[in-house]
């Protein structure tokens, strides 16, 4: 059974891999593509999403694709389904840091700490606080109440926030995909932690923004495609909502001339939430080893993706 794995992970996983694997290590996309054509197992991650997709497309006989990433947006999931490739993702390996970042985004927005930092850079000493919102006794919708969403909710509750989770199925303790919009007029914080799918793209559009209170903030740690960015620019420019803390946008990187950079009350964090950690790769390596043993032994895999749903 042939496996093609990243050389960076070799020290972490090689001593723990199950016996009998024919393992090949790659250090570049071209190396991965050269090796993966007849591979059974592939961990083909790349910091460049397009290069990752290129390597995956070359893996015509792959039985199992492992990835550290949670989202499969750039991959041809229909092709993977046709090939019969099973996919496991990295959901959970950086969930804590993304949840922490989301709550930080709300705190930065509530106290406008971005403006505090800029005042300090100018060596100014304000006599009034630029942000006066309190999280205590506010209401939040967390759209996408999976691993990350639940962790966001748990942390918000520690600040005294009334949290409503949103799931596609309307699972116990959450509201369903058709119910959350009715709650927008009474919501102070809208957190987006959902995957990008056909159903979720532009789920926050002109109609949803119009339903929000003028004091509502959006915090997006999901995917940029979840928001109609033109509608968001208009709503923030007209002060229809208070603003948005955006860890994710589209496209990424955001071009220098993009109007979202200069839209009033939009705070950017350049998709750094998942990178603001030191232990994600260790967790990902441990997950891969666990799944490699399960795959060889014919046991269920952890974090297996429903390719029809996209997550």
Q: For residue 142, what is the domain's CATH number? A: 3.40.50.720
Q: Which two tokens stand for residue 69?
A: 């990433």
Same domain? For 219 and 234 the reply is yes
Q: Which two tokens stand for residue 182?
A: 């009715």
Q: Which two tokens stand for residue 275?
A: 């990178």
Residue 207 — φ and ψ, nearest 5°?
-65, -45
Same domain? For 167 and 253 the reply is yes
Residue 182 lies in a domain: yes
Distances (CA, A) of 97 to 221, 288, 307: 11, 20, 26
Residue by residue, pLDDT tens for the chain (311 residues) are 999 999 999 999 999 999 999 999 999 999 999 999 999 999 999 989 899 999 999 999 999 999 998 888 889 999 999 999 999 999 889 999 999 999 999 999 999 999 999 999 999 999 999 999 999 999 999 999 999 999 999 999 999 999 999 999 999 999 998 899 999 999 999 999 999 888 899 999 999 999 999 999 999 999 999 999 999 999 999 999 999 999 999 999 999 999 999 999 999 999 999 999 999 999 999 999 999 999 999 999 999 999 988 77
Same domain? For 58 and 148 the reply is no
Same domain? For 140 and 237 the reply is yes
Q: Which two tokens stand for residue 107?
A: 């705190």
Domain count, the chain: 2
Residue 191 lies in a domain: yes
Q: Which two tokens stand for residue 127?
A: 């006599």
Same domain? For 227 and 175 the reply is yes
* Nearest Cα to Cα of residue 304 among 94, 87, 108, 115: 87
Residue 311 lies in a domain: no
Residue 302 lies in a domain: no
The range of the structural domain enclosing residue 208 comes to 95-275
Same domain? For 171 and 116 the reply is yes
Residue 308 lies in a domain: no
Same domain? For 77 and 115 the reply is no
Same domain? For 251 and 181 the reply is yes
Same domain? For 10 and 64 the reply is yes
The number of beta carbons lying within 10 Å of the beta carbon of residue 26 is: 22
Residue 305 lies in a domain: no
- Give the angle subtended at the CA of 255 by the CAs of 253 and 261, to the nearest 5°: 95
Residue for token digits 């709650």? Answer: 183
Residue 307 lies in a domain: no
């Amino acid at each position: 059974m042939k496996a093609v794995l990243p050389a960076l992970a070799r020290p972490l996983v090689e001593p723990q891999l199950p016996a009998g694997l024919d393992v090949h290590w790659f250090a570049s996309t071209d190396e991965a593509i050269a090796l993966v054509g007849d591979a059974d197992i592939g961990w083909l991650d790349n910091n460049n999403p397009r290069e990752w997709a290129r390597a995956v497309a070359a893996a015509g006989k792959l039985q199992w694709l492992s990835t550290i990433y949670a989202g499969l947006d750039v991959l041809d999931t229909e092709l993977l389904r046709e090939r019969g490739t099973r996919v496991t993702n990295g959901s959970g390996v950086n969930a804590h840091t993304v949840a922490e970042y989301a709550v930080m985004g709300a705190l930065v927005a509530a106290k406008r700490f971005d403006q505090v930092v800029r005042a300090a850079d100018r060596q100014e000493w304000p006599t009034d606080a630029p942000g006066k919102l309190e999280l205590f006794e506010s209401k939040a919708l967390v759209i996408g109440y999976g691993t990350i969403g639940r962790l966001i909710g748990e942390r918000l509750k520690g600040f005294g926030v009334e949290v409503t989770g949103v799931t596609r199925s309307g699972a116990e303790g959450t509201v369903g995909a058709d119910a959350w919009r009715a709650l927008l007029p009474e919501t102070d914080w809208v957190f987006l932690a959902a995957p990008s799918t056909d159903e979720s793209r532009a789920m926050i559009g002109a109609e949803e923004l119009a339903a929000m209170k003028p004091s509502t903030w959006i915090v997006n740690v999901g995917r940029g495609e979840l928001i109609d960015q033109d509608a968001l620019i208009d709503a923030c420019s007209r002060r229809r909502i208070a603003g948005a803390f955006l860890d994710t946008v589209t496209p990424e990187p955001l071009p220098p001339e993009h109007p979202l950079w200069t839209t009033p009350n939009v705070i950017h964090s350049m998709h750094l939430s998942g990178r603001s950690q030191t232990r994600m790769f260790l967790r990902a390596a441990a997950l891969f080893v666990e799944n490699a043993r399960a795959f060889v032994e014919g046991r269920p895999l952890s974090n297996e993706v429903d390719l029809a749903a996209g997550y």
